Amino acid sequence: MWRPSEAHALGQIVKEKEYRQVITEIELGVDFGHIQLSPNQLSNEFDSIEAKRTHTQMQIALIEIGNALGFRTWIAKNDRSIEVGESKLGSLFGVVQSLEEIPILYKPEIRDSASLVDCIWFADNGDRIPAIIEIEHSTGVTSGLTRMKKLKDTFPSISATFAVVAPNELRNKVITEANQKVFRDLRARYMPYSTIRELYGLMQRYSFSGLVDHSFINAFMERVVEE
């Protein structure tokens, strides 16, 4: 902490300084809107409404971050009907309505594999894929890796960054699973929930449109697969 009015000698350890201001996500402008969920919208991957709500919050944040970076975002087809405020997740601004409008996904089997992926960013009118992202909650963290692996196997020439978004406490589990032989060729990267929330707050507060390109987001994706 920089305290010019209370300077001390270099290397000297001083007593703790009380800080009365509270730092919260609200200060970053994080507002995911009113998400309405029902038990029939849960799957085997979610053990509670709250877990599914957090998953949806991450998708909303990724849509907004994508918009700021000039990307269009695909949201998994089984999540698109979730109500967010007076709209639906699949109808939010910047969300791709049909994978058939994406030129790079030129085969039906590729579109089928992509349809259940939590989030895919498209750029350059659908001719480029900056990132393919799965959001994980459980300690297994393999369901998302499996979906991304299926897409890569269906589309071997695909050029994209594969990333796993997961709670901070699951980082070590993500590293372990991403380094398994079956998933290693994904070269998956890791983004913690905290990073997504921070980026989302920044995107809500400031206009990044046209100021940064897709390489900006790579700085927030940790390389976790051994080369």
Per residue in 131-172, pLDDT (tens digit) is 999 999 876 789 999 999 999 999 999 999 999 999 999 999
Pairing of strands 161-166, 128-135: parallel
48 secondary structure, DSSP code:
S
pLDDT of residue 22: 39
C-alpha to C-alpha distance for 135 and 190, rounded to whole angstroms: 10
Question: Six-digit token pair at 178?
Answer: 């991403």
Question: Six-digit token pair at 92?
Answer: 């939010």
Question: Six-digit token pair at 19?
Answer: 């800080």
- The secondary structure element, H or E, covering residue 134 is strand 128-135
- The secondary structure element, H or E, covering residue 126 is none
pLDDT of residue 206: 77
Q: Answer yes or no: are the C-beta atoms of 77 and 116 closer than 8 Å.
A: yes
pLDDT of residue 207: 73
Nearest in space to 62 (alpha carbons), one of 189, 191, 156, 182: 191
pLDDT of residue 32: 86
**CA dist 144 to 15, 83, 150, 151, Å?**
47, 23, 10, 11
pTM: 0.83
pLDDT of residue 158: 95
pLDDT of residue 188: 97
Residue found under tokens 């100021």: 211
CB neighbours of residue 3 within 10 Å: 9
Domain ranges for the chain, please list them. Answer: 33-223
pLDDT of residue 34: 87
Domain 33-223: state its class: alpha beta
Nearest in space to 65 (alpha carbons), one of 227, 196, 172, 215: 196
> Which residues of the chain have a pLDDT value below 70?
1-29, 41, 44, 139, 209-213
